[in-house]
Chains A and B, each alone.
Chain A
Amino acid sequence: MSVMKRVTMIFRAKANKALDRMEDPRETLDYSYQTQLELLQKVRRGVADVATSRKRLELQLNQLQQNSDKLDRQARDALAAGREDLARDALTRKAGIQTQVTELNQQYTSLQGEEERLTGASQRLQAKVDAFRTKKETIKATYTAAEAQTRINEAFTGISEEMGDVGMAIQRAEDKTEQMKARAGALDELMASGAIDDMVSGPRDDIQAELDRIGASNSVDVELERMKGELGQGGAPRQIEGAGATDGAASETASAGRSEQTQQPRAGDGA
């Protein structure tokens, strides 16, 4: 038998089963309405849950993007400093982060779709519940139990189908947000433990440390040049050594002079 007809029959059967359980149809109208309101609450909670998951994903995406941008900057800095090896390292890590970003983006889109679907479901159900309430009051006020039966059946079947549909949508969204929560939780833990940071830039951000070291030695060079300029001297290391020797001649202890002498050439070498 056709798929459409079978699906339709399943929904009908569900509604009929519920109708059969009713003894005084008029009394059960209120009970059914109550169930509808509960489902409405549930679908609204579902929308809120999906939105929360989506926002959490958004935060994680931002964080990963920042990390990726940072690695990009580091790669540029490294290249500017002539360190292609470091730049390569940074870009490799950036690629790893980008893979995560792509995956999360797909999930984000899927959650957005779920949120839209559920919002639509909530609005449609709201409209049907409102219609049911009106109909329920009319039926209760106007008809005897026997007369009411057919009308109640119609109203009930109409809303039961919507409720089944919405119920499925909620279930679906719940499954999806559960998966997403588990994943997001795992990612949060990774981020908190620093493992993602490690992935971004190594345990102690070794790329940045190396860049800082290059930067620092550059600034030492600059400072040395500036000092040389101030002193109006060309060969700084020799002059310092000379100064050390003078101090040594006038000094009380030879060891102090020696230690100065051994330190200063090293500083000169580094320059």
Chain B
Amino acid sequence: MIVRILGEGQLQVADSAADELASLDAKLEAAVEVSDEDEFKTVLGELLARVRSIGTPVDPGTLEASDLIIPGEDATMAEVHKLLTDEGVIPS
């Protein structure tokens, strides 16, 4: 599957890693729910590190949409919240 890290580009990640990433993602979601910024940063860092270590960069000339998109390294919870509520963070 293709995973995009916002601000970094796309990586090809083995489908077998899906469960592992999903469990990290669940922790991320939990942090967002209780507005725990520190936990959010920690888990996001783990998730990104994992994807970077198991993924291989996709040729940027590939016109393929990603299966999963992860916020970038220095994303704050507020930014992610804005992104999720689609308050115009993605310019059209």
Interface residues of A (CB under 8 A from B): 1-8, 10-15, 18, 117, 120-121, 123-124, 127-128, 130-132, 135, 154-155, 157-161, 164-165, 167-172
Smallest Cβ-Cβ distance to B21: which chain A residue: A4
Interface string of B34-70 (1 = CB under 8 A from A): 0000000000000000000000000111111111111
Contact B7 A164 (CB under 8 A): no
Contact B83 A7 (CB under 8 A): yes
CB-based closest 10 A-B pairs: A158-B63, A167-B91, A127-B60, A164-B90, A131-B61, A124-B60, A127-B61, A2-B25, A157-B65, A8-B69
In this complex, which of B8, B61, B86 has the most chain A Cβ atoms within 10 angstroms of its Cβ?
A: B61
Contact B69 A168 (CB under 8 A): no
Contact A3 B7 (CB under 8 A): no
Provide the residues of chain B in CB contact with A171, threshold 8 Å.
89, 91
Contact B63 A131 (CB under 8 A): yes
Smallest Cβ-Cβ distance to B32: which chain A residue: A3
User: How many residue pairs at the A-B interface have CB separations less than 8 Å?
Assistant: 100
Provide the residues of chain A in CB contact with B7, threshold 8 Å.
117, 121, 165, 168-169, 172
Q: How far is the CB of A234 from chain B (nearest CB, A)?
A: 76
Interface residues of B (CB under 8 A from A): 4, 6-9, 21-22, 25-26, 28-29, 32, 59-71, 80, 83-84, 86, 89-92
Provide the residues of chain A in CB contact with B90, threshold 8 Å.
10-11, 14, 164, 167-168
A136 to B21, CA, bound (A): 35
Q: How far is the CB of B31 from chain A (nearest CB, A)?
A: 9
A8 to B9, CA, bound (A): 14
13 residue pairs from A and B, CB less than 8 Å apart: A3-B32, A3-B84, A4-B25, A117-B8, A123-B60, A128-B61, A130-B61, A131-B62, A161-B65, A161-B66, A167-B90, A169-B7, A171-B89
Contact B63 A165 (CB under 8 A): no
Contact B92 A14 (CB under 8 A): yes
Provide the residues of chain A in CB contact with B83, threshold 8 Å.
7, 10
Smallest Cβ-Cβ distance to A165: which chain B residue: B6
With A2-B22, A7-B70, A7-B71 in contact, do A128 and B80 touch (Cβ < 8 Å)? no
Provide the residues of chain B in CB contact with A158, threshold 8 Å.
62-65
Provide the residues of chain A in CB contact with B89, threshold 8 Å.
168, 171
Contact B68 A8 (CB under 8 A): yes
Given contacts A18-B92, A161-B65, 9 further A-B contacts (CB under 8 A): A4-B25, A7-B80, A11-B66, A117-B8, A127-B61, A154-B65, A158-B62, A164-B90, A164-B91
